[in-house]
Amino acid sequence: MKSLDIINEQVNTVEVNPIEHNVIQKKERFTFIDLFAGIGGFHLAMHNIGGNCVFSSEWDKDARNTYETNFKDISPNLFNDNMFAGDITKVDPNEIPNHDVLCAGFPCQPFSQAGYKLGFEDTRGTLFFNIAEILKVKKPKAFFLENVRGLMNHDGGKTFEAIKNTIEELGYSFYFKIVKASEFGLPQHRPRMFMVGFKDKTIDFKFPEPIKLTKTMSDIFEGKVNREIGFTLRVGGKGSPIDDRRNWDGYIVDGEEKRIGIKEGRRMQGFPENFEFPVSKIQAMKQLGNSVAVPAIQAVGLQLVKSMEENNVKSK
């Protein structure tokens, strides 16, 4: 079993490695914060490429339980130093540790004044404003945001325009792309909006090229499945008849109908086999459906870190 403290020797792969409790990463490549953390998909991906998480926030009590269970040993500073916050709106940005990369899979909300200035002030009253405030106060080297594909056209495109303008107003570059989980080794489409930017605008960022799919739904179920790439894992709506257009969790496996469970959901999102869910099955499936696809985050995160490192070398 590969341990996380030697992952820096394998940074060119998007393979997600098992979490080994009581193992603390020894070599720090960069620091990051994990906002709207959920169960820690960003944390796992960024840790795998050499990151040290110095602050995290998640308000949902069940998600917090799962997060702490899986990361209390590899990132003990979060819990020992009271750096695992609940409601981010109640956190003073000045109290957040300095960090290199801000990571967030933030909720999408309409901006009440969007369409006027479409900048920093227009985001007040939304959860994105808290991200903007942290960027403004802490000035990290880079950010990495994730959201649903529909963000592009949300509120007639005003929400995305306000986000882009706000970030650029704060002095960052802004790159974005719709990335599918299936492009980075997972057999589900799961298209998501990835946004990356740097304080140093001379950094020319390019999203990583997709890799060949090597794992199919047959690997997920350990049996012959009627689909190579599965439906996007999501929250709600499960249990529909297998031939219903609303079905997303039913598959024909070895000739029999089967539904996705925690084991299959964990594999479809790229979490290691020993990732624990100390919650009910209902909560676990909800948490998996809300999570990021770990290998996709890891691949883009690696490209982000390499871009920063290459720029530092060039500037010396």
Catalytic residues: 108
| Separation between Cα atoms, residue 9 and residue 143, nearest integer Å | 24
The span from the CA of 124 to the CA of 197, in Å, is 21
Instruction: Please give the span between the terminal C-alpha atoms of the chain, in angstroms, as a whole number.
Output: 38
Q: How far apart are CA 133 and CA 128, in angstroms?
A: 9
Rounded to whole angstroms, how far apart are CA atoms 216 and 222? 10
Q: What is the DSSP string of 102-139?
A: EEE-PPP---TTTTSS-SGGGGTTSHHHHHHHHHHHH-
Q: What is the CA radius of gyration of the chain?
A: 19
The number of angstroms, rounded, from the C-alpha of 176 to the middle of its chain's C-alpha atoms is 15
> Phi, psi at residue 67, to the nearest 5°?
-60, -50
Beta strands in the chain (DSSP E): 30-35, 51-57, 84-85, 101-104, 142-148, 175-180, 191-198, 250-253, 256-259
Residue 18: which of 273, 210, 287 has the closest Cα? 273
Distances (CA, A) of 192 to 39, 90, 231: 18, 28, 14
How many whole angstroms from its chain centre is CA 239? 26
Residues 6 or more apart whose Cβ sits within 8 Å of residue 76? 24
Report DSSP state, residue 260: -
Here the tokens at position 159 are 């929400």
